[in-house]
Chains A and B, each alone.
Chain A
Amino acid sequence: MDVRFINPFISSIKAVFRTMVNTEVTVGKPYVHNESAATADVSGVIGFSGDASGCVVLSFPKEVACKAASAFAGIDIDEAHPDFADAVGELANMIAGNAKKDFAGMSVSISLPSVIVGKEHVVSQSRLCPRLIIPCETGLGMFQVEVAMIVEKCQTGMARVPVVAAAE
């Protein structure tokens, strides 16, 4: 398994939750997204562009999102709180930004976060790009991080390789 692109996300998820949410994360075995993949109530989305393109989606059940946002912000936050989406988006931003520093030999930019709130939604991709799901377990509950990324260019000469293909 080529872990060049998945390990940075796993390290980043753990670091962001340990440092900013005061919560340890146990990461399960990543798997390729399929039709029966779990839905989410809250998702923070960050796009990638440059030498790699795609996105990372941080998805929570509502209760877990509220607990994580509250622990992050240091105040009680429910889904109606004006800072709820901001907190989820910033967590996604930190995970994406922290992961991309470990993409050796690549120059990658990240977008501003978007946050989707809606019971049992699915985040669809508009371009053909395999998606890998990283299941995460914490004392706050379960959540998942979905990575859909295509390498456009890197110094090792690998071009337009879907992350999942590289990981299999």
Chain B
Amino acid sequence: MKILLVDDSRTIRNIQKNVLAQLGHTDVAEAADGVEALAKLGQDRPDLVLVDWNMPNMDGITLVRKIRENDTALPLVMVTTEAEKSRVIEAIKAGVNNYVVKPFTAETLAEKIEQTMSKAAAAAVT
């Protein structure tokens, strides 16, 4: 499974990579903002994208909206410090499939990723 991590913090991307490695996922690409992510998405469509909200150049919510203009099926998980209910609703309306609030435990991130992929697999069958 190919996964794209989009976060301006390399530390967070490394933490996410460690969690993904524990889940057996090592085919991971990285982007530091929405612009870089869109360029990578255009080259090679991943199976899952983890996306931060607050980033330079293009933020995560704009990236999600741009992805959903052309791809309604790609599983997207927002991983962000934005924890207000209004922000979660905004992200869901924009098209994210799941939402993880920072700070997160490895267990929470792993659970949300597996939950998202299970739902995506079920949707693909139906």
Contact = CB atoms under 8 A, between A and B. Distances in A.
Interface of A: 15-16, 19-20, 69, 72-75, 82-83, 86-87, 89-90, 93-94, 96-98, 100-101, 107, 110, 112
A148 to B, nearest CB: 19
A20 B79 CA distance: 14
Given A73-B15, A83-B10, A94 B84 contact: no
Given A74-B18, A94-B103, A112-B56, A101 B84 contact: yes
B80 interface: yes
A112 B80 CA distance: 12
B83 interface: yes
B11 A97 contact: no
Interface size class of B (residues with CB under 8 A): 20 to 34
Given A93-B54, A110-B54, 6 more contacts: A19-B104, A86-B9, A97-B54, A97-B83, A97-B102, A98-B101
Given A93-B81, A97-B82, A16 B103 contact: yes
Contacts of A97: 54, 80-83, 102
Interface in B92-118: 101-105
7 closest A-B pairs by CB: A97-B81, A101-B83, A19-B103, A90-B9, A87-B11, A20-B103, A16-B103
9 contacts: A73-B11, A74-B15, A74-B18, A83-B10, A93-B102, A97-B80, A107-B86, A112-B8, A112-B56
Interface string B20-36: 00000000000000000
B81 A19 contact: no
